[in-house]
Amino acid sequence: SIDEPLYAWSYTSENLENAVQAVCDGDSIWKASKKFSIPFSTLRESIKKNRLISEPSLGRYLNLSSDEEKIWLRI
């Protein structure tokens, strides 16, 4: 029926925690999501919420290294 989801994911909170740990240990989010059968977007959002990865947001101050700043000043 139309109300049924296209994909039925079944994973435990333990699998999610293990996947997050695998990413912390160096696995890519994609690899960990496949290894522990966690949807990629679910794992990525979980990692973002725990601040294990950060993404700059609009209006955020950008810190440049001194080398990067010199490059930009030459442009």
Q: What would the pLDDT profile of 26-48 be if each residue is shown by its tens digit?
A: 999 999 999 999 999 999 988 88
Query: pLDDT for 4-20, tens place per residue?
Result: 555 666 788 899 989 99
How big is the chain by its Cα radius of gyration, in Å?
18
Would you state the pLDDT for residue 9? Answer: 67
Q: How confident is the model at residue 22 (pLDDT cuts 50, 70, 90)?
A: very high
Asked whether the beta carbons of 72 and 64 are under 8 A apart, the reply is yes
Joined tokens for residue 15: 């699998």
Helix (H, G, I), strand (E, B) or coil at 8: coil
Give the pLDDT of residue 31.
Answer: 95
pTM of the model: 0.57
Contacts of 64 (CB under 8 A, 6+ apart): 72
End-to-end CA distance of the chain: 58
pLDDT value, residue 69: 77
